[in-house]
Amino acid sequence: MKKVSILTMSAATLMIFTSCSKLGELSADNFTVTPNPLETQKGVVPATINGHFPEKYMKKKAVVTVMPELRYSNGVVEKGTPATFQGEKVRGNDQTVNYKMGGNYTMKTSFAYAGDNKAEMFLTFDARIGNKQFDVPAVKVADGVVATSELYKQTVLSTQAAVAPDAYQRINKKKLDANIKFLIQQANLRKSELKNNSVQEFVKMLKQINNDREKLNLENIEVSAYASPDGGFRINDKLAGERQKVSEKYVNQELKKIKFNAPVDAKYTAQDWEGFQELVSASNIQDKELILRVLSMYKDPQEREQQIKNISSAFRELADGILPELRRARLTINYETIGRSDEQILEQLNDDATKLSIEEILYAATLKSTPAEQKAVYQTATKVYPNDYRAYNNIATIEYEQGNYEAAKQCLQQVKNLPEANANLGLLALKDGDVAGAEQYIAGATGANGLSEIMGNLNLAKGNYAEAEENFSEVYSNSAALAQILNRDYVSAAVTLKYIKNPDAMTEYLRALMSARMGNNSDASEALKEAIKKDPAFAKYANNDIELEKVQK
């Protein structure tokens, strides 16, 4: 009888010991995850896990490693960053959990986004006591994934690629100057001055404008006469006025010879202190800085003149090298050159494109109405001007718009040192989710045409939504609307979506997301149906989109 009692007690003791040695299940109640549902940020899915080991769970010799997993509906399993915890009698460097009291812990992790917006987050456990491993079932702790920020890979496809602009201007303003110099205290025109190159070019240009009214247009002729600052204001005022009269008379005589009725605007400056300062600043006169200081200190002309004359060492240099240049009249022709009209450019393009400038050919492409016609003109430009890379870039923009991304990339690889090409290579990198590569390309796109919109797409991909919204301040596009939605600026997003020029399925899907976030599920449902109508592929994505859970599909 005594023996049986001893055996019974031993069995009970063994059962208790075995039970205490095992590590049981943990439930979802032991964990909270932030955020829940999970959400993509800058291409990854971050999560913060707050866990709790219950009282008398962590055996004194136990070691438990917690491994987060994100299990996507497409079968991909992404593992996060594990954390290891140990019992009180374990000699190690991991966080120790008290057996009697249990313990709380926080661990941060992140998962790669696998391109699937439906997933579940689990915690798995590697639990050991000594060399013995125990089976602790995995626990589901969160749902996912809100992947709205990843839509930039689609919105970037409707972004306007950077077109390298032409510099063609049909009408260009030009001017031609001629100078007539006078001797000191004199106002008579010397024959030697009228034969100088600038005056001869002046007369020649008047004749050219008069004979070629289709390509040249005269706006006016200006006559500006001057006297040097020395000699006193009264004398110089009279002298400059006389120089104006004789110069204006000369211009009118030349116009009369060629029977050209043109406006002449004449004026004079009694003391040309401004011209004096410019010439002194550009000279190597010994006391240049002292003279310039005098000009800034004294505003009265007489006082200025006297102070400068007091600098005896410099005055001779001024008298010989500076002042004679200020005794002059400047004759200016303000005119316009008139290039080919749109019709003339297109006609010449068909007849013989080699007679057009590169600017005219690039401009001709903008006159075409279809991408195919534009592409043909750019191809002509590459043949006539193979070393001008703008045409290659612009062919790439057409390929990009049509979804021919590999063809666009091949065109851009032929381009050298063109900011627009770097910007467009950045767009292609963003399409593939290569944010780092895009940033590197776009760093070399300073000054590119349309760079602000492309920078907006880069900041959108980087999660800088406020900066992206600022980049898109004058743009109505899917990317601009997405930036505003992610920045929670729904009022601006509504305006942007309204004014998108060619709304597509993505436009309607963004409208659905915006409406759902604002609690307008009815509007969201209508927009979603329109998106699916335009592109049925959105049906599957929408079914898994947590943001649209409450929207009737």
**Which of 94-103, 147-156, 276-285, 418-427 is the least confident region?**
276-285
> Residue 108 falls within a domain, yes or no?
yes
- Tell me how far apart the alpha carbons of residues 113 and 134 are, in angstroms, rounded to a whole number: 31
- Tell me how far apart the alpha carbons of residues 497 and 478 are, in angstroms, rounded to a whole number: 7
Residue 289 is predicted with a pLDDT of: 78
Provide the 3-class DSSP secondary structure of residue 141.
strand
Lookup: tokens for 252: 């009118």
Indicate whether 275 and 139 sit together in one domain.
no
> Residue 5 above 50 pLDDT?
no
> Residue 172 above 80 pLDDT?
yes
Provide the 3-class DSSP secondary structure of residue 198.
helix
**pLDDT bucket at 24, cuts 50 / 70 / 90:** confident
> Residue 394 falls within a domain, yes or no?
no
Indicate whether 176 and 310 sit together in one domain.
yes
Residue 314 is predicted with a pLDDT of: 62
In terms of DSSP H, where are the helices of 111-189?
152-155
Where is the domain boundary, 338, 363, 390?
Answer: 338
CA torsion 440-441-442-443 (nearest 10°) is 50
- CATH number for the domain spanning 175: value is 3.30.1330.60
Flag whether the pTM goes above 0.85: no
> Residue 74 falls within a domain, yes or no?
yes
CA dist 320 to 22, 186, 187, 285, Å? 108, 17, 19, 11
Lookup: tokens for 421: 């090409």
Residue 379 is predicted with a pLDDT of: 97
> Residue 57 above 70 pLDDT?
yes
Indicate whether 265 and 175 sit together in one domain.
yes
> Residue 307 above 90 pLDDT?
no
> Residue 313 above 70 pLDDT?
no
Mean pLDDT over 192-221 rounds to 95
Residue 294 is predicted with a pLDDT of: 75
- Tell me how far apart the alpha carbons of residues 252 and 329 are, in angstroms, rounded to a whole number: 15
Mean pLDDT over 529-540 rounds to 96
Mean pLDDT over 198-214 rounds to 95
> Residue 96 falls within a domain, yes or no?
yes
**Which of 120-124, 175-179, 276-280, 488-492 is the least confident region?**
276-280
The total domain count for the chain is 2
Mean pLDDT over 414-431 rounds to 96
> Residue 465 falls within a domain, yes or no?
no
Q: What percent of the chain has pLDDT over 70?
A: 94
**pLDDT bucket at 288, cuts 50 / 70 / 90:** confident
Residue 23 is predicted with a pLDDT of: 83
Mean pLDDT over 259-281 rounds to 90
Indicate whether 182 and 325 sit together in one domain.
yes
Residue 460 is predicted with a pLDDT of: 97
- CATH number for the domain spanning 57: value is 2.60.40.10
Indicate whether 82 and 130 sit together in one domain.
yes
Residue 331 is predicted with a pLDDT of: 97
- Tell me how far apart the alpha carbons of residues 128 and 131 are, in angstroms, rounded to a whole number: 7
- Tell me how far apart the alpha carbons of residues 30 and 488 are, in angstroms, rounded to a whole number: 33
Indicate whether 124 and 198 sit together in one domain.
no
Between residues 264 and 5, the one the model is more confident about = 264
Between residues 287 and 356, the one the model is more confident about = 356
Indicate whether 62 and 183 sit together in one domain.
no
**pLDDT bucket at 231, cuts 50 / 70 / 90:** confident
Whole-number average pLDDT of the chain: 91
> Residue 302 above 60 pLDDT?
yes
Where is the domain boundary, 338, 357, 380?
Answer: 338
Mean pLDDT over 315-323 rounds to 78
Residue 316 is predicted with a pLDDT of: 72
Lookup: tokens for 358: 């590169």
**pLDDT bucket at 15, cuts 50 / 70 / 90:** very low
> Residue 426 falls within a domain, yes or no?
no
> Residue 233 above 90 pLDDT?
no
Residue 539 is predicted with a pLDDT of: 95
> Angle at which helices 490-499 and 505-517 pack, to 10 degrees?
160
Minimal CA–CA distance to 68: which of 25, 121, 23, 28?
121
> Residue 20 above 50 pLDDT?
no
> Angle at which helices 435-443 and 419-431 pack, to 10 degrees?
170
Indicate whether 130 and 177 sit together in one domain.
no
| pLDDT tens-digit map of 335-352 | 999 999 999 999 999 999
- Tell me how far apart the alpha carbons of residues 388 and 33 are, in angstroms, rounded to a whole number: 57
Q: What percent of the chain has pLDDT over 90?
A: 81
Residue 248 is predicted with a pLDDT of: 97
Indicate whether 195 and 142 sit together in one domain.
no
Indicate whether 81 and 184 sit together in one domain.
no
Taking residue 394's Cβ as centre, other Cβ atoms within 10 Å add up to 28
| Cα angle 222-227-233, degrees, rounded to a multiple of 5 | 125
- Tell me how far apart the alpha carbons of residues 498 and 189 are, in angstroms, rounded to a whole number: 69
Where is the domain boundary, 338, 368, 403?
Answer: 338
> Residue 271 above 90 pLDDT?
no
Residue 121 is predicted with a pLDDT of: 98
Question: Would the CA dihedral through 417, 423, 427, 430 be positive or negative?
Answer: positive
Distance of CA 468 to the CA centre of its chain: 9
DSSP class per residue in 54-118: PTTTS-TTEEEEEEEEEEETTS-EEE---EEEE-TT--SSSEE-BTTTBEEEEEEEEEE--S-S-
Mean pLDDT over 504-520 rounds to 97
Indicate whether 180 and 105 sit together in one domain.
no
Indicate whether 75 and 199 sit together in one domain.
no
> Residue 485 falls within a domain, yes or no?
no
Q: Which domain holds residue 304?
A: 171-338
Residue 315 is predicted with a pLDDT of: 66
> Residue 243 above 50 pLDDT?
yes
> Residue 550 above 70 pLDDT?
yes
* Residues 400 and 420 sit within 8 Å (Cβ to Cβ): no
